A and B are shown apart, each in its own frame.
Chain A
């Protein structure tokens, strides 16, 4: 049997475990830092405006408390200790849309409620995101044939993430939240405001 030779130059060194706070920050991939000008005991951070702003925005989304129907009970379950939405910095449900930047449309949007939901959305300050939770908010769901129900909340307000289910499990809910965070992470600050066109 031939001896196996290993080209040691091709082995990459193991990634260094981040230790200092700055290295940990760099490890998240959100902010690129350069340890520079050590002699001056100062630091220089290199990043883009998009990255910094998106990181700040997605780290503490504050949802508005607006439960509409069955899904709102699961919203309570998500916020409670077992599923603990506080892990995402989202435990502060604001009663006023003026203080919120995320809206869960949790439940059936009826034709009577639709103008109120739209008003609620318009009262929220920019930037704002909407998650349509459950079958009813996405398409009308089991009430699609009903005379009183709006066939999807996206007919009146823009929706970022749809979570299917009737009602969705809390795990599905959290998965939807993670999807929104991914979306926000990749958002262009310029694109959002139409600057790069």
Chain B
């Protein structure tokens, strides 16, 4: 029986598009013939704002790119400026940075698991995931007073040292979290409905994944061992013992499993960081500071100038954010404001593979495949 082709709009207000994304689907009955992605509903002009703000003023905007994991965004921007201006960072600050970033990776994957299962129609996981997330957010509140948008990692160091009682509370969380991950796996991994929804859905081969520019767990789910923490080591990652989690199948389930394994690896990293953290001064002195402090109490430190001008030049600096490769390309013309800030966001690049993945599948499979790519619209539209 022949059916008429139907043009179906999904979004921009749809509970499963994780924000304001729109799919334009050409349907043959229930089968997706063509999928077009319409984005830009959350385009806030972040990159242009980067040219209007001084270097330090732009840090809060990086929080709001990928708002589920803001610490890696802070760090990627700070790292770019440090490379541009030649700022050295004290060792303890690097330890605190890695600590916050790995904690943020766990939170990101918790929200991923929760929202994925929610989209598939299982409400338990989001309750469990947000329960643990709330505990981690309490740690972040101790650290900087904010729950989501931290503005904590600054060029040259971090804003404050760890508060009293942070490490014991963190250890408690780590101990608790290990059991919880087992619980999650017990709940989800062998659920028959879940497996049917995830296995062999949204398959993408290693070659295609590379061609589409996928990074992060989405690429590692296709069997490519690509992790910037290993390939282009930064911060203290060379000193840490961790493995890159890879699954070879390339389907939705593989991408899900990569993230579960990564949560365990992050716990492993966090334990090492806690054990080996040194005592030292937090904020480094910037080499190229031009404007002196004007008597106002600084949020950064007395050592670091509020307004400074790195030498003219350009830099591309990238890190392994929870969602993939996050890069900042900054051009400086020697003034106190950047000439250009370009953000290479993982969600945007990963999203482009969706139309390739879902042709020939049904709409519920689009939800499953899209959920395992794990995009955040703030990161896509910038």
Contacts and interface: CB of A to CB of B under 8 A. Distances in A.
B130 A116 contact: no
A110 B67 contact: no
A146 B134 contact: no
B131 A82 contact: yes
B13 A120 contact: yes
Contacts of A76: 111, 115, 126, 130
A68 B130 contact: no
A35 interface: no
A167 interface: yes
A143 B41 CA distance: 15
A70 B46 CA distance: 14
B131 A73 contact: no
A116 B44 contact: no
A166 B149 contact: yes
Contacts of A167: 147-149
A68 B20 contact: yes
Interface string A135-172: 00000001101111100000000000000001101000
B238 interface: no
Contacts of A148: 43-45
A127 to B, nearest CB: 21
A34 interface: no
A4 interface: no
Contact of B68 (A73, A149, A169): A73
A16 to B, nearest CB: 41
A113 B42 contact: yes
Contacts of B377: 69
A103 B64 CA distance: 22
A73 B134 contact: no
B278 to A, nearest CB: 33
A192 interface: no
Contact of B49 (A95, A110, A143): A143
A54 interface: no
A108 B378 CA distance: 10
Contacts of B67: 69-70, 73
A131 B89 CA distance: 43
A68 B381 CA distance: 12
Contact of B44 (A74, A77, A120, A149): A149
Interface in B77-129: 111, 115, 126-127
A65 B118 CA distance: 14
B347 to A, nearest CB: 13
B75 interface: no
A170 to B, nearest CB: 8
Interface residues of A, number: 33
Q: How large is the interface on B (under 10, 10 to 19, 20 to 34, 35 or more residues)?
A: 20 to 34
A82 B52 CA distance: 39
Nearest to B131: A81
A146 to B, nearest CB: 4
B233 interface: no
A69 B19 contact: yes
Interface in A25-53: none
B40 interface: yes
Contacts of A145: 49, 52
B148 A146 contact: no
Contact of B134 (A66, A69, A77, A149): A77
Nearest to B16: A95
B264 to A, nearest CB: 23
B24 to A, nearest CB: 15
A46 B46 CA distance: 58
Contact of B43 (A67, A112, A166): A112
B127 A80 contact: yes
Given A65-B15, A67-B19, A167-B149, A110 B52 contact: no
B356 interface: no
B111 A73 contact: yes
B308 interface: no
A67 B147 CA distance: 18
A113 B41 CA distance: 5
Nearest to A120: B13
B360 interface: no
Interface string A115-128: 01000100000000
B131 A149 contact: no
A116 B13 CA distance: 8
B60 interface: yes
B147 A81 contact: no
Interface in B133-151: 133-134, 147-149
Contact of B19 (A72, A146, A149): A72
Contact of A142 (B14, B40, B61, B130): B61
Contacts of B61: 142
A73 B40 CA distance: 19
19 contacts: A65-B15, A73-B148, A76-B115, A77-B130, A77-B133, A80-B126, A93-B15, A107-B42, A108-B42, A108-B44, A112-B40, A113-B42, A146-B44, A146-B49, A147-B48, A148-B43, A149-B44, A167-B147, A167-B148
Closest CB pairs A-B (n = 6): A80-B130, A146-B45, A70-B67, A148-B45, A82-B134, A113-B41
Interface of B: 12-15, 19-20, 40-46, 48-49, 52, 60-61, 64, 67-68, 111, 115, 126-127, 130-131, 133-134, 147-149, 377-378
